Structure 1
Amino acid sequence: MKRILLFSLSLIIVAGFFGCKKDVPISDSLTGTWELRQDGGGWGAIVSHKPGNDTLVIFTSTAYSFYNKNKLVRSGAYTVRRDTSFMYGQLKNRIIFDGHTDDMRQFFDIQNNKLSFWIDAYDAPMVMYQRLK
């Protein structure tokens, strides 16, 4: 009986060790330089932007900077947390700029080196950036 218990306990520990993966903090996945590729939505058409348009967002682990044609437009601190999107009815990555938790709720997603931002409303605009580095 002791051998079965010891074997079971060992198996659980080994499975837990190899089965667990370390999650990358959400803000670390944002870190880098991103260039605008699409914007629009809501009631308007989606506009595509060519590479080299110099409309960038740069994220560090705690700060952001938005540039339009290489000119700084906005910068500050941000935080990320998991929150339920009203639009999707599930947990998504919410970004909060400069501690403004009462502003319109903005969410983001990263897939295939593409960063999409959207406001949590059906007719709201969206933007999509491509990772440069």
Structure 2
Amino acid sequence: MKKLLLITLLAAFIGCKKDAANKAGLKGSWEYRGTACYCLAATDTNAKKPGNGNIIIFADNTYKRFAKDTLKKSGTYVVVKDTLGPQPVNRIIYDNDTASDKIFFRMDQNKLTFFGQTPLAADGPEYYYERIKS
């Protein structure tokens, strides 16, 4: 009986993680469009243009990150609910690395923005991506 309960809870937990990613709308291909911060600007002026090859592809629970069309990293990810101050936010955790700096994201139609715990006004960068394929 205990084994059946454990299997049921594990299946529900895995299902919730998958649902969170699907509800977040991350599935698809996203191309880098720029960074906002009060820091130094990128020196590669082509890095923001469409067709730059700086892409993240999200599937149900896996990702691939390309830089100039070359695969740089791939692995797994989960989306969890978190808070930033009093605000609820979506957090993405890559490769089950819960000890790394927190990465949050928000979406507005076909725009995806990644940001950390330091706000933009305090020199915290925001990275912008645009959906190029669902």
TM-score interval for Structure 1 and Structure 2 normalised by the shorter chain = 0.7 to 0.9
One-letter code of the match for 1:30?
Answer: L
State, as a whole percentage, how many aligned pairs show the same letter. Answer: 36
Separation of aligned partners in 2, 1:43 and 1:127: 13
- Name structure 2 gaps, 5 residues minimum: 1-18
CA distance in 2: counterparts of 1:26 and 1:113, whole angstroms? 18
Give the structure 2 partner of residue 27 of structure 1: 21
Q: In structure 2, do the counterparts of structure 1 residues 42 and 65 end up closer, same or farther at CA, with 3 Å as the change threshold?
A: farther
Specify which structure has the higher proportion of helix.
Answer: 2
Q: List 4+ stretches of structure 1 deviating above 2 A.
A: 42-48
Q: How does 1:1-133 map to 2 (within 5 A)?
A: 25-28=19-22, 29-45=25-41, 49-86=48-85, 89-122=86-119, 123-133=123-133
**Deviation of the 1:127 alpha carbon:** 0.8
RCO higher in structure (CA 8 A, sep ≥6): 2
2:21 alignment partner, SS class: helix
SS of the residue aligned with 1:84? strand
Question: May I ask how many residue pairs the two structures share in their alignment?
Answer: 108
Give the letter aligned to residue 105 of structure 1: K
Which structure has the larger Rg over C-alpha atoms?
1
Alpha carbon RMSD of aligned pairs, Å?
A: 2.0
CA displacement 1:65-114 (0-9 Å, x = unmatched): 1101110111110011110014xx31100000111111111100110200
CA distance in 1, matches of 2:38, 2:60: 30
Please give the alpha-carbon distance, in whole angstroms, between the structure 2 residues aligned to 1:77 and 1:50.
27
